[in-house]
Structure formats: structure tokens, C-alpha cells
Structure 1
Amino acid sequence: MTDATAAPLERLRARPSPGRPFGWRLSGAYGWIAPALLVALWQAGSSLGFIADTVLPSPASVVAAAWRLTRSGELASNIGVSFLRAMAGLAVGGAIGLVFGFANGLSKVSEGLSDSTLQMVRNIPHLALIPLVIVWFGIDEGAKLFLVSLGVFFPVYVNTLHGVRSVDPQLIEMAKSYGMPRAALFRRVILPGALPSIFVGLRYALGVMWLTLIVAETIAAQSGVGYMAMQAREFMMTDVVVLSILIYALLGKLADVATRLLEGFCLPWHPAYRRA
């Protein structure tokens, strides 16, 4: 290779690689093209009279409704109530799911005692329990917390159990052969190996969480985004109903983005989660 050829190659090697952050941001931007196009077509159809306001209000009407409710303080109050309910249910159901997932994944005795019962309960649609839950808890916060926690529990439990069982047994044996204590073995081998599956369960649980909360708030609530939608339906305020649906969609998207960021923070060693 001549010096004239080697010099450009050395400059090319020394040039900083764009890495994945730019591509990741670009792919994230691409993800908003379809929603933006859909909103533009929606507005065009409403402006041209193809879509009646009584059937589906225009985006401009929805934005006007959002501004009106923001100025009155009703929107922020209801979003805050729904958000706190969702996070409380996620914390309770997710924590219990993690405990049972790790316990049944690490102990055959615990699995034999509880897994069969949990699998039977898992096949019962938790939303079908709403009439019974109202009898138990009334329409207070306890009913909504119970339903959201129950909906979140099973995705976290099943994926945590799968993650623990999927840890390479050769890694565990090698760690034991080096005399690693049980606490260190769990912290440095089992937990990192199970984290990818746990995050899959968390992302799935977030979708179930919002679905359960929507149903719970539209049936038994005196506040929240679902309650706001039901009140708007009574007065045929379709712009507020559509606004409520969009708020749920945005909250779900924000929760998913937060989970993906947490994945990248907790799993920098995993090839699928590296950003550079």
C-alpha cells in the first residue's frame, strides 16, 4: 500500500464514528411521521367537511378544548389524579410480581406452593372482577388500586420468572466454583441476566396498567381522565372525549419512553441496548 493511499485511510479511521445515538434519535423522529401525517389528514378531512364534528371533532377543536380545560385547572388536576393512580398500582403490583417471580424462579419449593395457583388466577380476566371489586371496596381509591395492581402483577411475574430461568446455568456454576456468596451471585449474575426479561414484562405491564385504569375510571371514579371523558359524554362534548383518549395515548407513550431510557441505563453491557 502506497503512502498516498495510506494517508486517507488513516484519516478515515481517526474520524469519530457517528455511533448509534444519531441513528437512534433519527429513528425516534421517524416514529412521529405517521402520527403527524394522520393528524394532518384528520384536520384536512374536518376542514373539508368529510368528517362531522359530532362524529370526530377536528384537531383544532381538541386543542381548543385542551386550552379551555387547562385554563380552568381541570385538565391538570385530572391528569395528576390518573397518573398517581397508575404509578401506585404499578408500584404495588410490580413489586409483588418481582418478589413472586424471583422466589419461584430461585426456589422449587416456592414454585410448587404458589405457581399453579397464580397461573389459574392469571387466566381470569381481571376486568371481569370489577362488579365484585366494587362490592369489596366500593368506588373509592382501593378498588382502582386493586384492579391496576392485579393487571400489572402478572406480566411482571411471568417475565421475571422467565428471566431467572433463562440465566445461563454455566455462568452460575462458574460463579459458585469461584466461591461467590449467594448474595453476590444474585446481584452480579442472576439479576443482570434476568433484567432484559423483566423490562419486557414492565413494558407489557404499562400497557395493561393504562387499559385497566381507563376502564376503572369510566366505571367507578369521581376524578381522573376517564371520569372527565364520561362526564363529557353525558353532555355530548366529543372534543373532550377525544382529548381524553389522546391524553391516555400520550401518557402511555411517555411511560414507554421512560422504560426504554431505564433499559439503556441498567443494561449498558447488553448488545441490544447499547447506544454507541
Structure 2
Amino acid sequence: MSISTTGVLARAEPAAEGPPRKTPTRRRPDLRRWISPVVLVAVWQIASGTGLLPPDKLSSPWTVLQAGVEVARSGELGDAFVVSLGRVGAGFAIGAIVGVVLGIVSGLSRWGEALVDPPVQTLPFLGLIPLFILWFGIGEETKIVLVALGVAFPLYLNVHSGIRGADPNLVEASRALGFSRAERLWHVVLPGALPQALVGLRQSLGLAWLALIVGETVNADAGVGYLINNAREFLRTDVVVVGLILYALLGLVTDALVRLLERKVLRWRTR
């Protein structure tokens, strides 16, 4: 009696496994960026301690730290911070809207570029301070308008460049798929211009703080610039440096926020 082998079940082969997944690794901070600031502060402290840098020219880091604690406890630093932050916030909101709108108009239309680009490119916004004082006085309007212009220029240039640099193959493909002009703008052109626009946003925030420093130094009765000018009158170089450090920290924080936004919004570029 023969046994048929046709009914013998073949041994099941193990299912093919895909490539092993990489476990996400936490990105460690690059400590090399702290080398030059630490060395600079150390050299500054040594020069102050040995008398090479007299205190009437520049106070030592330890004196600056004590002055910072002093003005923070008195409430002067907090009040100045709130006032300056409010000016930058108002100016940034106005300038961002103006810069993005003008960049879109100039980027999408030849007529728009011909009408918008020449005055925007040739307008020296810091040179307009005397006119702003004549038009708006020495109140808040001058400082806010100055910050708004500082924000609008780089945003306009980068939005315009991003729109003009849109991938023509993608635009042609969307046209072949039957996208309307508004759909091409929303789904192809503006997303393609977003990386360049975020670069302009970082530049705008840097110029916003620069414009605020100029505006508050020219004439102000409150804010970080007023704190610096008031300290200058009394030869308090330690408080002057405290104000400058606060400006620098605000610039670094806003730049870090834009970098974080850039990583979140442009996550698709790394895929």
C-alpha cells in the first residue's frame, strides 16, 4: 500500500520581514556653539580684573550680573521688557501683513512687480526717522511704523523670490490636472514659496529688533532703549550692557521660535 505524497502539507515559510525600523534618536544640543561666548566672557572678566578694561569704559561681567539682578528686582527691567515687546508685536503684525501682500502681488503679476518693486527697493526705512517724527511726533506711532517697515522689506523680498522660484514642472502638472488659478496658487505656488518666506521671517525679526533699538534710542520715555539711554546719562555702563544683553536674548529667542516653526511646517522636506 503506497502512501501518496500529494496530501502532505508543505511547511509554512516564515513571513518576510521588512527592514528594521530605526528608533528615533534625541538630538543633543551642539555645545560647540557655547565655546566662543564662554571664552569671550572669560577674557572680558580677566581684562576687567587686571585693570586693562577700566570700569568707566565697560563694567565687568560680575558687575553686569549684579546690575541685572538689581534692575530686575526693582521692576524697571520687567516694565521695559513689556513695553518693548508690545512695540515689536504691533510693528511685526503690521509689517508682516504688508510685506506678504506686496510680495504676493509683485510675485504673481508683472504689472504688480513693475508698480511695487521700485519704491520698495529704494526706500531707506531708517532714513525716514526725521519724517516719522514730523508726521507722528515722538509717541508710539513712530516706533511701531519703524518696526513695521523693518519687517516688511525682507518679507517682501523673500516672498517675491519664493513665488518667482516656484517649480515650473509642478505648475505645469497642476495646470494639466485641471487646477484653477486659485488652486494652483494655494496648493502649488504658496507651499513652494514657504521655505523662502520663512527665511524672510527670520530676517524680519532680526531687523525688527534693530529698528526698535534705533527707535527707542532716538526718543523714548519707556522701554529697553529708554533704560539704556537713562543709564548712559549716569555713566552706568553695567546697566547699558544689561539692556544690550536683553535685546540680544530677545532676538535669539524669536529666531529659535521661527526655527522651531520651520521644522514643524517644513517637515515634509525631510521625508
TM-score by length of 1: 0.86
Alpha-carbon shift at residue 203 of structure 1 (Å): 1.2
Residue 233 of structure 1 corresponds to which residue in structure 2? 232
Specify every segment of 5 or more residues in structure 2 that has no aligned partner in the other structure, as ranges.
1-16
Per-residue Cα deviation, 1:141-191 (whole angstroms, up to 9, x for no partner): 000011111111111001100000001011011112112233332222111
Partner of 1:147: 146
Q: How far apart are the structure 1 equivalents of 2:231 and 2:246?
A: 14
SS at match of 1:180: coil
Tell me how far 1:100 sits from its aligned partner: 0.7
Counterpart in the other structure of 1:89: 91
Stretches of structure 1 lacking an aligned partner (at least 5 in a row): 1-9
CA distance in 1: counterparts of 2:22 and 2:120, whole angstroms: 52
Alpha-carbon offset, residue 59 of structure 1: 1.1
**Match of 1:190?**
189
Query: Equivalent residue for 1:167?
Result: 166
* Residue of structure 2 in register with 1:115 after alignment: 117
Residue in 2 aligned with 1:73?
A: 75
Q: Which amino acid aligns with 1:206?
A: L
Inter-partner Cα distance in structure 2 for 1:177 and 1:242: 60
Report the CA distance between 1:48 and its aligned residue.
2.8
Q: Using a 3 Å threshold, how does the CA distance of structure 1 residues 159 and 37 change in structure 2: closer, same or farther? A: same
Aligned twin of 2:29: 26
What CA distance in whole angstroms lies between the structure 2 residues aligned with 1:206 and 1:30?
Answer: 25
State the one-letter code of the partner of 1:111: E
Query: How far apart are the structure 2 equivalents of 1:119 and 1:174?
Result: 33
Mean CA deviation greater in 228-237 or 262-271: 262-271
The superposition leaves residues 35-59 of structure 1 with CA deviations (integer Å, 9 ceiling, x where unpaired) of: 1221122122222332211111111
Code of the aligned partner of 1:95: I
Q: CA deviation at 1:198?
A: 0.6
Residues 56-71 of structure 1: matches in 2 within 5 Å? 56-71=58-73
**Identity level (%):** 46
Counterpart-to-counterpart distance in 2, 1:171 and 1:155: 26
Q: 1:14 Cα deviation (Å)?
A: 4.5
Instruction: Tell me by how many angstroms 1:15 deviates.
Output: 7.8
Aligned partner letter, 2:269: H
How many correspondences in the alignment? 254
* Pair 1:128-2:127 in alignment: yes
Under a length normalisation based on structure 2, what TM-score does the superposition of the two structures give?
0.88
Q: For residue 115 of structure 1, report the CA deviation from its aligned partner.
A: 2.2
Paired with 2:210 and 2:128, the residues of 1 have a C-alpha distance of 14
> Could you tell me which residue of structure 1 aligns to residue 211 of structure 2?
212
Q: 1:156 is aligned with what amino acid?
A: L
Aligned mates of 1:184, 1:31 — CA distance in 2? 43
Amino acid in structure 2 at the alignment position of 1:92: I
2-side partners of 1:32 and 1:104: how far apart? 41
What is the CA–CA distance in structure 1 between the aligned matches of 2:106 and 2:238, rounded to whole Å? 48
The letter for the 2-side match of 1:147 is L
- Give 2:55's aligned residue: 53
Q: Secondary structure at the match of 1:207?
A: helix
Tell me the residue number matched to 2:12. Answer: none
Letter in 2 for 1:189: V
Alignment partners' CA distance in 1, 2:66 and 2:230: 18
In structure 1, the partner of 2:241 is 242
